């Protein structure tokens, strides 16, 4: 007996596929199994493809490609379809791809294989012959891995439902899906696929005792499989009248269970009949478990986002009415992770005796240590306290002193549940710590206080402090009275586009001591200038420290060019936050990111004659009791001249300022007032620096000996300044010098 006769006797066909020619040759048995006349035939690849289920054809192409690459045998299960789209039978085909070289030098492959009918039920086999194509175990595992990854990456309920609708289960993909969720004693559809909007009306909202498979799956916690319409009608006659019009033939209702709690039901409906073999049920159950976990995670994430947005809306005020002659812009960016809330805040407070949009107002910006719920709670209470103290009419220094006492006392005496704990432990804050509201051992959810373990964890967290900058603004004069509690100094963007850090007096952060002093610094905001207040998150985000972070921000401000204040706020945030392509990483790459609060205040520009040169100006007072501020004055002058073309002139100016201030502190009993102004166009500017005091004693030239430690101040000014002089005043005197940018120094 010939080989062909033996194969025909066991219902095995032979076929040959020439990929280069695009043709398939079948023997009589193979033709019969593929739904053709039982005679040898050669047909085009496209005609052959029409005999297979489209899903199976796509899968066999991948199996063959892998077999060609690995030099192995390809095996696949295929559904043979008739002209009306019904499954005739399921066959198994095995073939060996062989790579060959064509006359033109290119490579292609040919395959010789066998085909047999699958008569016994197989994993994936439907009542009418559906199957899982290829190596069904490998396909199922790959599908479940992909589905698990996609569901794990979904961050919202809508994303989870979109992923569920796109799942293509190997060999028995449903064409209708619905997800039901439990809401009290009712069951509602929260997402569906494969149905029109009006189709879900009867099932959109139902009671849990309804005679419907999804409701029963929730009540019992067991999956319900209905392989035929007859099975559905017999078991659920009441709801069958609403289902039969969808022309579906099999249904699976699988409960969505997480941690023993049933969240809802997942329905998968099929237009072809499915036998729901143990392997198919295993796939459906696994998908349902992953779907339930994804929905639970998405629900928690959405609750956290809703809480975060609610906290932000309640704690982040909107900027008040327009201020005549001034413009204000603000931004808040939570970057701390978790609930996306933190301790950064800003505020704008109308001061007593002035209506909205008129007279003086206060700007506040601050940062409570940490970026968690406790920090957000302390921030909310501290913001309210600051508004109350400001409304009482206190000056900036008094407002911060009272706020510091408030924060220190709040954490020393008030327990998380409002009880007095106090004493030496001193570890309780006003809001919950990192442990949340979960009761610890030895307590109940409604008990009088937290458990012992939670108290210990809370104690380990320690008290929190807050940095803050509070300033009063007079819109008519541009006067700013600033008090600072451990917060970064403000920045002034001058009319000529130079951004300079304005050093101010400061005290300890709020809450560190119950009795702290916060001296006030007065600055003048000139027409056309912009004031920037920010928390350290804007400076240090991206691994920067205060120095490198400021080096990154200054060009951003100086390129602003007097445009929209809202645009400047967006540009500053984008420069430090978002994709790494937006910013340069600093030297401290392992530093955690922080929340960002930003306030911008601009004084409207006054039209000036075209001949009026651009100017930038800074002023600073150095008290007798604070000689260390001389170093700050040098830094401030260097920042004022950061774009001066001649670096030697900057060094000379810094040296002369240091000498002038030191002379006032050493030779008089008065404070020194420094005023520096650079006026003109870049490259042709004139720097004038004045140091004034209230002493009538004029400086005089001396001839110091070789070893003398003083007496060279006027000699230095003669050598280094282009011009200098001493001007008597009604009360005191002023010594000054000028430098011309690009000009020769010296007399």
- Greatest extent of the chain over all pairs of C-alpha atoms, in Å: 132
Stronger pLDDT, 332 or 482, i.e. the higher one: 482
CB-neighbour burial class of residue 708 (10 A; exposed 0-12, middle 13-18, buried 19+): exposed
Helix (H) or strand (E) segment spanning residue 231: helix 229-235
- Residue-level pLDDT at 217: 92
Report residue 745 CA to chain centroid gap: 53
Residue with structure tokens 């920045």?
A: 491
Q: Which pLDDT score, from 0 to 100, does residue 495 have?
A: 85
Burial of 396 (0-12, 13-18, 19+ CB in 10 A): buried
Same fold, 3-117 and 141-307: yes
Q: What is the pLDDT of residues 592-645, one digit of tens each?
A: 677 888 999 999 877 655 555 667 888 888 888 888 888 888 888 888 888 888
* Token pair for 582: 């937006």
**Secondary structure (DSSP) of 368-432:** ESSSSHHHHHHHHHHHHHHHHHHHTT--HHHHHHHHHHHHHHHHHHB-TTS-B--TTT----SS-
pLDDT of residue 533: 95
Helix (H, G, I), strand (E, B) or coil at 451: coil
Which among 534, 484, 499, 443 is positioned nearest to 618, based on CA atoms?
499
Give the residue, 2 or 546, on which the prediction is more confident: 546
CA dihedral 236, 238, 239, 242 (to 10 degrees): 140
Number of residues in the chain: 747
Residue 223's nearest CA partner among 161, 165, 281 is 281
Distances (CA, A) of 628 to 220, 490, 505, 635: 77, 20, 12, 12
Give the pLDDT mean for 402-428.
57
Cβ–Cβ < 8 Å for 441, 454: no
Residue range 3-117 forms a domain whose CATH class is alpha beta
Could you count the other beta carbons within 10 Å of the beta carbon of residue 304?
14
Instruction: Kindly state the helix (H) or strand (E) to which residue 49 belongs, with its residue range.
Output: helix 45-49
CATH topology of domain 318-414+464-603: Phosphatase 2c; domain 1 (3.60.40)
Q: Quick one: pLDDT at residue 431?
A: 29
**Overall average pLDDT of the 692-711 stretch:** 66
pLDDT: which is higher, 402 or 444:
402
CB-based burial, 608-639: b 16+ in 10 Å, e otherwise: eeeeeebbbbbbbebeeeeeebbebbbebbbb
Quote the Cα angle for 459-383-329, to 5°: 130
Report d(CA 464, CA 458) in Å as an integer: 12
pLDDT(532) > 90: yes
How many whole angstroms separate alpha carbon 601 and alpha carbon 303?
Answer: 35
May I ask the CATH architecture of the domain 615-701+709-740? 2-Layer Sandwich (3.30)
Kindly report the CATH number that applies to the domain delimited by 141-307: 3.30.450.40
Name the least confident of 179-183, 314-318, 414-418.
Answer: 414-418
In the predicted structure, residue 440 carries a pLDDT above the cut 70: no
Share the mean pLDDT of the chain.
78
Each domain of the chain, given as residue ranges in start order, spans 3-117, 141-307, 318-414+464-603, 615-701+709-740
| DSSP state letters, 537-591 | HHHHTTT--HHHHHHHHHHHHHTSTT--HHHHHHHHHHHHSSSGGGS---S-TTS
Rounded Cα gap, residues 113 and 625, in angstroms = 98
DSSP state of 319: P
Least confident of 173-187, 264-278, 427-441: 427-441
The per-residue pLDDT for 700 is 64
């Amino acid at each position: 007996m010939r080989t062909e006769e033996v194969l025909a006797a066991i219902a095995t066909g032979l076929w040959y596929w020439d990929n280069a020619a695009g043709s398939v040759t079948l023997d009589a048995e193979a033709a019969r199994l593929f739904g053709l006349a039982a005679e040898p035939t050669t047909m085009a690849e496209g005609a052959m493809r029409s005999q297979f289920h489209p899903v199976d054809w796509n899968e066999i192409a991948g199996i063959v490609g892998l077999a060609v690459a690995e030099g192995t045998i390809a095996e696949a299960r295929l559904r043979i379809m008739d002209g009306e789209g019904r499954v005739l039978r399921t066959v198994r085909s095995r073939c060996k791809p062989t790579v060959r070289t064509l006359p033109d030098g290119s490579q292609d492959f040919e395959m010789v294989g066998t085909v047999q009918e699958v008569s016994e039920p197989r994993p994936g086999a439907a009542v009418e012959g559906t199957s899982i194509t290829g190596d069904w175990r490998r396909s199922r595992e790959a599908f479940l891995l992909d589905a698990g990854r996609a569901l794990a990456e979904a961050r919202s309920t809508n994303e989870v439902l979109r992923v569920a609708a796109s799942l293509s289960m190997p060999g028995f993909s449903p064409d209708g899906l619905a997800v039901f969720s439990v809401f009290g004693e009712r069951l509602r559809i929260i997402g569906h696929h494969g149905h029109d909007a009006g189709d879900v009306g009867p099932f959109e909202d139902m009671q849990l005792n309804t005679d419907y498979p999804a409701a029963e799956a929730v009540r019992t916690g067991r999956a319900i499989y209905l392989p035929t319409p007859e099975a559905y009608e017999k078991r659920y006659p009441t709801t069958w009248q609403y289902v039969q019009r969808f022309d579906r033939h099999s249904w699976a209702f699988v409960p969505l269970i997480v941690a023993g709690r049933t969240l809802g039901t997942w329905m998968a409906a099929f237009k072809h009949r499915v036998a729901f073999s143990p392997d198919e049920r295993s796939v459906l159950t696994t998908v349902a478990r992953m779907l339930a976990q994804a929905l639970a995670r998405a629900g928690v994430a959405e609750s956290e986002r809703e809480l975060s947005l609610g906290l932000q809306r309640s704690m982040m005020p909107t900027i008040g009415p327009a201020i005549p002659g001034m413009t204000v812009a603000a931004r808040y960016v939570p970057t701390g992770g978790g609930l996306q809330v933190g301790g950064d805040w800003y505020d704008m407070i109308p001061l007593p005796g002035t209506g909205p949009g008129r007279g003086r107002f206060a700007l506040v910006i601050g940062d409570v240590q940490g970026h968690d719920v406790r920090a957000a709670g302390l921030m909310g209470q501290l913001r309210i306290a600051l508004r109350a103290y400001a409304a009482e009419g206190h000056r900036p220094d008094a407002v911060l002193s009272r706020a510091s006492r408030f924060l220190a006392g709040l954490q020393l005496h008030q327990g998380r549940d409002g009880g007095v704990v106090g004493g030496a432990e001193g570890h309780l804050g006003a809001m919950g710590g990192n442990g949340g509201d979960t009761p610890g051992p030895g307590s109940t959810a409604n008990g009088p206080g937290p458990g012992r373990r939670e108290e210990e964890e809370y104690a380990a967290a320690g008290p929190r402090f807050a940095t803050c900058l509070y300033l009063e603004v007079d819109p008519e004069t541009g006067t700013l009275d600033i008090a600072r509690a451990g917060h970064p100094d403000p920045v002034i963007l001058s009319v000529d586009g130079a951004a300079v850090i304005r050093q101010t007096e400061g005290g300890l952060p709020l809450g560190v001591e119950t009795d702290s002093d916060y001296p006030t610094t007065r600055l003048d905001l000139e027409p056309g200038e912009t004031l920037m207040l920010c928390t350290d998150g804007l400076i240090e985000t991206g691994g920067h420290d205060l120095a490198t972070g400021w080096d990154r921000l200054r060009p951003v401000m100086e390129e602003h060019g007097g445009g929209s204040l809202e645009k400047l706020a967006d540009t500053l945030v984008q420069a430090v936050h978002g994709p790494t392509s937006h910013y340069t990483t600093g030297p401290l790459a392992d530093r955690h990111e922080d929340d960002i609060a930003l306030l911008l205040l601009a004084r409207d520009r006054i039209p000036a004659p075209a001949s009026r040169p651009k100017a930038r100006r800074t002023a600073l007072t150095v008290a007798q009791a604070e000689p260390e501020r001389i170093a700050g004055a040098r830094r401030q002058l260097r920042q004022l001249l950061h774009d001066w073309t001649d670096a030697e002139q900057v060094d000379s100016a810094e040296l002369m300022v240091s000498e002038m201030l030191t002379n006032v502190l050493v030779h008089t009993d008065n404070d020194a007032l420094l005023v520096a102004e650079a006026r003109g166009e870049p490259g042709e500017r004139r720097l004038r620096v004045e140091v004034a005091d209230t002493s009538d004693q004029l400086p005089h030239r001396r001839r110091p000996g070789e070893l003398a430690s003083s007496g060279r101040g006027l000699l230095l000014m003669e050598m280094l300044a282009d011009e200098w002089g001493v001007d008597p005043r009604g009360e005191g005197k002023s010594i000054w010098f000028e430098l011309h940018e690009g000009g020769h120094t010296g007399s």
